[in-house]
Structure 1
């Protein structure tokens, strides 16, 4: 009787040990299968997100370039105020000279041919 009991206990222990070894041996392959399954499901979506992000990055770079170019144009316009003041001064001088020419022609009564009129530099 004792022998049968011992055999039953040994069988239970060996069965549990065999089951544990089977689980331990198969656990990594089950985990790898689950990883593969997850990657297969999520990879297309990740690829789509990557292409979207690259497209947005290109658009952003274009917008940044445009803004930087506009800023440099505005800064260069600020630097050109001296030139505009110069042009304004020259236009005022030309207008004044034109009025003087008109006044002098009006007094003398002569009509001056524009092609022979003195040029202002």
Structure 2
């Protein structure tokens, strides 16, 4: 009987393990459990993924702004290259103005020498006019004269250094 008891026990154990295996298979593959596992995965993975997407969008916006800045800077540099002719014209005009100013100074110094003995100068020393005082006009004239003299001295100084 012990052989029968062992085979009967073995049959019962086999049936029990098969049922447990079936139940495990059913439980593991049940849709509600699968949905629970999916929900758990989404809940864990969604927040970091959303944070990364926000960071990527922010970086994209910053990068786009920097690209626009670079395009603007490149355009400005190209337009500066086109301005070279205008700067050369300005430089030529300044040289001409300096030359004309020097000529005027020379003519003025010649006139002063010639006017020292002039009849008009002697006559003007005796004639006095009562002109109204215009302080704002004299200030403007004085300031303009100072600016012109300053510019001329700078130009003469720079041209003497260059030559």
Whether TM exceeds 0.5 here: the answer is: yes
Distance 1:66 1:73 in 2: 11
Report runs of 4+ in structure 1 exceeding 4 Å deviation: 1-7, 29-32
Distance 1:94 1:61 in 2: 48
Which position in structure 1 is the counterpart of 2:95?
92
Structure whose alpha-carbon radius of gyration is higher: 2
Distance 2:48 2:61 in 1: 20
Q: Structure 1: which 5+ residue stretches go unaligned?
A: 111-121
Q: TM-score, normalised by structure 2?
A: 0.54
Q: Deviations over 1:67-121 (max 9, x none)?
A: 22112212221232222112111211122123223433443458xxxxxxxxxxx
Which position in structure 2 is the counterpart of 1:53?
56
Q: Establish whether residue 39 from structure 1 lines up as the match of residue 45 from structure 2.
A: no
State the shift of 1:22 in Å.
1.7
Greater RCO, CA 8 A, separation 6+: 2
For these two proteins, the number of residue pairs brought into alignment is: 110
Q: Establish whether residue 103 from structure 1 lines up as the match of residue 106 from structure 2.
A: yes
**CA RMSD, Structure 1 to Structure 2 (Å):** 2.7
Distance 2:17 2:84 in 1: 92
Q: TM-score, normalised by structure 1?
A: 0.69
Distance 1:3 1:74 in 2: 101
